[in-house]
Chain A
């Protein structure tokens, strides 16, 4: 039996099949799961903001899409994952309240998704699937055995990406 490894907000964790890496209740934050199908090493980062360079208090790398994704890749490589084999799945980036989307916080979910995809693109990591945007929260589970990415939401059937 593998472990269930829990990732908090502005946090990342790495596992290896048959571990399950999970984060609970993503709202406007984005959960980016990276997976190496050969070594079955998987990792998940729960980012809150798009860009560390725009903010002075940026010591927690897992808080931001740019630094968080790089940190996760490094950690997975240390465990033996091959960078060129990594694939990505992402979820979250919802707009939890119907704010005026012109203000900075109003569209933070969308900006988190855009930034995450940009960083993945720069790292040449292919995005296999995503479940992002809209207006509801998501709990995600990455199964390191298979690379399956399960998404659970209130009042909706479970999705597997």
Chain B
């Protein structure tokens, strides 16, 4: 039986989870910046307790077309991780990685999709390894899955996962980007029963 539930989320837990987001996203942002040879900033992580209905609008309009990269988490921590990018940012990343003209906005081809999945792999790897080191938990991820569609349709996937166990979702979200073209989100969505492990591994009494 898990001790943690979303009704008893308090400021201490939120601070700890923000630190998780900070270290994970910080490491991921560094990897991405190195890979692309550009400067990328990230925001202070935002930890939000939302109803599952709010999850689909947490990041903008339901009908905005975005690129969603999704990875399932396995081993000690279950749940999922997502990277969401607007179309302009996705083109920018794919072009940059493949040495294409930076303003190329032709429809994504197979190579663009592969390039973005590879970005997903690398940032998930660095995000999760940072958390693993911090918590001493083993966390692995599935291969990245990618889709380009309406934000609400993409976010319905984690909403349904949370919907199976309750009516709330806890979202650890960090914005990354540069001053001009690039902006996106890292989102970590641990499953309900993973919070016990994450919090106790960091010495928090539940």
Contact = CB atoms under 8 A, between A and B. Distances in A.
Interface of A: 8-11, 24-29, 48-49, 55, 57, 59-60, 63, 94, 96-99, 105, 108, 135-139, 154
Contacts of B167: 57, 59-60, 63
Pick from B63, B149, B153, B164 the residue with the most CB of A within 10 Å: B153
A154 B65 contact: yes
A9 B145 CA distance: 23
6 contacts: A9-B156, A24-B150, A25-B156, A59-B167, A99-B72, A139-B62
Given A48-B52, A136-B153, 16 more contacts: A9-B152, A25-B56, A25-B62, A25-B152, A25-B156, A26-B152, A26-B153, A29-B156, A48-B163, A49-B160, A49-B164, A57-B165, A96-B154, A135-B147, A136-B149, A154-B149
B77 interface: no
Nearest to B80: A105
Does more than half of chain B's interface fall in helix, strand or loop, or is it mixed?
mixed
Interchain residue pairs A-B with the least CB separation, the first 3: A137-B153, A25-B152, A27-B156
B73 interface: no
B140 to A, nearest CB: 15
A59 B168 CA distance: 13
B148 interface: yes
A27 B63 CA distance: 11
Nearest to B152: A25
Contacts of B151: 25
Interface string B56-84: 10000011010010101000000000000
Contact of A26 (B147, B156, B163): B156
Contacts of B161: 105
Contacts of A97: 68, 70, 145-147, 157
Contacts of B146: 97
A108 B160 contact: yes
A96 to B, nearest CB: 5
Contacts of B150: 24-25, 27, 137, 139, 154
A10 B52 contact: yes
A139 B63 contact: yes
B70 A49 contact: no
A27 B161 CA distance: 13
